[in-house]
Amino acid sequence: MAAELLKRTFASEITEALRKDNSFVQFAKNDDAFVNSNSVELPHAGADPTIVIDRASFPGTITQRTDTATQYLLEELSSNPTHLQYSEELIVAYNKRASIMDGHIKSILQKKADRMAFKWAENVTGAGLTNTTGTVTRTSSAPGSTAVVKKVVKADLLSIRAKFDGDDIPQAGRKLILNSAMYNDILNIDDFTHADKLGMSTIPDGMVGRIFGFDIFVRSSVNRYATGGATIKDTEAANVITDLGAGFAWHPDFVRRAQGSVKVFLEIDKADYFGSIMSAACRFGGLNARTDVKGVQALVEAV
């Protein structure tokens, strides 16, 4: 075969991979100081005292408050190493080593956010689940799913607000994270589009809008539920065609997170590889903070 005669030139910048938005992770109780521990212990106050009106008998009944504790374990996320042969750096115009390291770091951060969304909603069951009720249907937002599901409608969001109100969740600071398909559903809700026209979508910290007292975040995917919509699936579980997509509402005072910085590992000019080896790792953990799981409400697609 004849040698290639056409000149080839690499641009000085590389087109990087597209990634999910991870900004929602910051809105939680901060346990970062304990990220190097094996677990974080959360104390829970016992029952409040009984209040008596116009007490007529003495002494009052004496009781003891029994407090309890729960814990969440810390996880370590680590990337598989990447080998960069020395000759590769010689023939490209862009900084491939920096690009590879950036890819490791951003992949770790994305996986951490995926895991955090799962952990915050993991224990939410029963009354903590709200199903979509729209009459107009679409394909499920869960990756690989072919299930036909009901869209998100105004009544679904009002149901979540009513649950938060009934549980005495503080009004200020409420958050709602949706996958992109669910977000597209609420774009058809007049209350949201009216707010958007007023410029309320241009707010900081990764939020794309506000509706019914909830600041809205959007990711391409959030959580998945198994057939029936009652059981959340781990991020590492295989996709199934009957999976259902889900988002969730939360208040930052009712979820916990501990996260460390991403540690980069780099072996330069490794003799037996004729190049460099790179990887990264990070410790983190998260949990719905209350044993009664109040303060987190899942929004799950229904068939």
Are 280 and 265 within 8 A, CB to CB? yes
Look at residue 109 and tell me whether its pLDDT is greater than 90: yes
Determine the Cα–Cα distance for residues 27 and 88; give it in Å rounded to an integer. Answer: 41
Tokens 């109040």 found at: 294
Q: DSSP string covering 214-264, please?
A: EEEEEES--EEE-TTS-SBPPTTSPP-TT-EEEEEEE-GGGEEEEEPPPEE
Determine the Cα–Cα distance for residues 41 and 26; give it in Å rounded to an integer. Answer: 20
Look at residue 204 and tell me whether its pLDDT is greater than 50: no
Q: Other CB atoms closer than 10 Å to residue 167's CB: what's the count?
A: 17
pLDDT score, position 205: 55
Contacting residues for 14 by C-beta, under 8 A, at least 6 apart: 94, 96, 99
Query: Which amino acid type is present at position 208?
Result: V
More confident position, 256 or 210: 256
pTM, to two decimals: 0.83
Look at residue 177 and tell me whether its pLDDT is greater than 90: yes
Per-residue pLDDT band for 89 (boundaries 50, 70, 90) equals: confident
Give the chain's largest Cα–Cα span: 106
pLDDT digits (tens, 9 = 90+) for 223-245: 999 999 999 999 999 999 999 99
Under DSSP, the state recorded for 126 is G
Determine the Cα–Cα distance for residues 143 and 109; give it in Å rounded to an integer. Answer: 20
